[in-house]
Amino acid sequence: MRLALALLASLTLCACATTGGDPRDPWEGLNRKTFEFNDALDRAVLKPVAQGYEKVTPAFAQEGVNNFYGNLEDIGTSLNNVLQGKVKQGASDAGRFVVNTVFGVFGLWDVATPLGLEKHYEDFGQTLGWWGMPPGPYFVIPLLGPSTARDAPARVVDPSWYYYKAVDNSRVYWTWWGLDKVRTRASLLKAENILDQAALDRYTFLRDAWLQRRQNQVFDGNPPKEKEEQ
């Protein structure tokens, strides 16, 4: 928690970066440069790999991979639900992890959903927002993409960081990490086609869509109407 607050403070002090027209994005000049770097790297490397993955990997195998990583995400979701006072949802997510790990072969099959254990999506950035911490300026992270001054340092608390660190074999580590990034990118390929057709300014479109979605996540789909989160 202290680390997250310290990083948030340091990012706030960096507000001297180029100021754009949107008050949510005072670092727009820097963010656009980072966005362009990320986009160029994605087009050159990650997108072609994701397209190849989608082409050669059977649909059932892709579903199994997504289920496996989704099962690990349920651990962090459960903890964050409890931190937000949503004990029932936290218990459901913990139950999902146990059931899918034991009966779904380490999460490759989702047997918890048919049993009525609903899947949720929570992270520590959402928990900080639930506690009342404002998001701060929009911030594009190199290689990782959209975030905010609140959510960027909150990633350090993500349990997935510690899953990777627990792997001693470097080859296994990078395979696990890389597969996660590729399968995530593959899931966005169809949405990207819509983006390319609809957006005149990709940066602005993605920023506004991401911030709106993030606000909905923090407020569980019911954001305040009179006063937006600042």
- What is residue 174's predicted lDDT score, i.e. its pLDDT? 79
CB-based contact 187:58 (threshold 8 Å):
no
pTM: 0.81
- pLDDT of the residue at 2: 43
Q: What would the pLDDT profile of 31-85 be if each residue is shown by its tens digit?
A: 999 999 999 999 999 999 999 999 999 999 999 999 999 999 999 999 999 999 9
Q: Tell me the C-alpha distance between 71 and 97, whole Å.
A: 6
Rounded CA separation 88/83 (Å): 12
DSSP code for 1? -
CA distances from 127 to 42, 76, 157 (A): 30, 11, 11
189 CB-near residues (< 8 Å, 6+ apart): 47, 50, 51, 54
Residue-wise pLDDT tens digits, 184-194: 999 988 887 77
pLDDT tens-digit readout, 154-169: 998 887 666 666 666 6
Lowest mean pLDDT among 39-53, 86-100, 115-129, 180-194: 180-194
